[in-house]
Chain A
Amino acid sequence: MSVKDYLRERYFPHMWCPGCGHGTVLNSLLRAVEALGLNKNDIVMTSGIGCSARISGYVDFHSLHTIHGRALAFATGVKFSKPELKLLVPMGDGDALAIGGNHFIHAARRNIDMTAIVMNNRIYGMTGGQFSPLSGLDKKATTAPYLTIDNNFDVVELARAAGASFVARTTTYHALEAVDLLKRAIDHKGFSVVEILSQCPTHFGRKNKEGDATNMLELYKANTAKLGSKALKENPSLIARGIFVDETRPEYCEAYEEIIQRATGGKR
């Protein structure tokens, strides 16, 4: 299979702006799926609403484009009824952690086997650049013309504390690393979270004077460092990339299957 075999080419060129990082997330994800040799009939992608959520329209897997913040709820329903399927759940930062924050922490707590991908552009792209719980302090947004006063979540720390058994972070600049982390996340049994910093040049970039897409990628390169690297040790204010959690813990669907066996005396 080639990457294009996993695409619905009839919907291209896609709707994302020139230089939008969400396209690179799609690119990396397709390469991960291809490298794992997954059969597209075994994959279900659920998504909510947002520029990010439009990704489910472009992949030739089973796909459910649902409602804002509820991608993980729909994914839970699918996985629970058909545990043999692979669930991929890409979400925007607003989708995952504003309106969908509760679904996010509870899916993590259950350790249900699926891959949550947070396409973090630190803003609501689709609705015109309102700040999100990932924007952080002192940022400009249409809803914060005089700068934000809200602290941001740290996706990695939140996912870890909520119980996700695999947690990683990378950026759209680090595309090879993204493919590798996505592969490992998809392969992981349990709830995996991959945060991918993804540039929105149209809103976040423009309002915060971060320049065009190319320049925003330069910032990902300059402002991040690999876990365990010398650069990170010397400058802890850099954003760490890599795998933060990778543990084997009881998975929700398997635990439920055991309950069924117990309740039916093994007759099912």
Chain B
Amino acid sequence: MARLKLKEHAINREWCKGCGICIHFCPKQVLELDSMEKVVAATPEDCICCKLCELRCPDLAIEVLTDQDEKND
């Protein structure tokens, strides 16, 4: 499998409830809560595109967009 390259974390701030699940279980500590208790990608350069944040988010508020997704669209 070719390594996925990150384009961006698409975060829906209206939907995110700041539960912290994605932050806690990110293997690379990429994510954090901002002052509004919404998730932001603080160190996107460390992201390995495992998409675990996207899979576990109870609010469907975070999407990990990669170069692969672009080709598939």
Contact status A19-B60, CB under 8 Å:
no
Contact status A13-B21, CB under 8 Å:
no
Query: In the complex, A41 Cα to B57 Cα: how many Å?
Result: 26
- B58: chain A residues at CB < 8 Å are 16, 18-24, 26-27, 172, 213
One digit per residue, 1 when the CB lies within 8 angstroms of any chain B CB and 0 when it does not, for chain A 1-37 equals 0011001000011101111111110111011000000
Query: A-B contact count, CB below 8 Å?
Result: 69
Query: In the complex, A83 Cα to B17 Cα: how many Å?
Result: 39
Of B21, B58, B60, most buried by chain A (CB within 10 Å of CB) is B58
**Which of A3, A17, A19, A179 interacts with B20 by CB under 8 Å?**
A19
Contact status A217-B60, CB under 8 Å:
no
Q: Is the interface of B mostly helix, strand, loop or mixed?
A: loop
Minimum C-beta distance from B67 to chain A (A):
16
Contact status B25-A217, CB under 8 Å:
yes
Q: Which residue on B lies nearest to A198, using beta carbons?
A: B58
**Which of A22, A26, A213 interacts with B60 by CB under 8 Å?**
A26
One digit per residue, 1 when the CB lies within 8 angstroms of any chain B CB and 0 when it does not, for chain A 144-183 equals 0000000000000000000000000000110110010000
Contact status A23-B57, CB under 8 Å:
yes
Give 15 A-B contacts (CB < 8 Å), ordered by A residue: A4-B60, A12-B14, A12-B59, A14-B59, A16-B58, A17-B17, A18-B58, A23-B59, A27-B55, A27-B57, A175-B55, A176-B55, A179-B55, A213-B20, A217-B24
Apart from the given pairs A20-B58, A26-B60, 11 other A-B contacts in the complex at a CB distance below 8 Å: A12-B14, A13-B14, A13-B59, A14-B59, A17-B17, A21-B58, A24-B58, A26-B58, A27-B56, A172-B58, A176-B55
Partner-B contacts on A (CB < 8 A): 3-4, 7, 12-14, 16-24, 26-28, 30-31, 172-173, 175-176, 179, 212-214, 217
Partner-A contacts on B (CB < 8 A): 14-15, 17-21, 24-25, 52, 55-61
The 4 closest A-B pairs by CB, nearest first: A23-B58, A19-B19, A18-B17, A175-B55
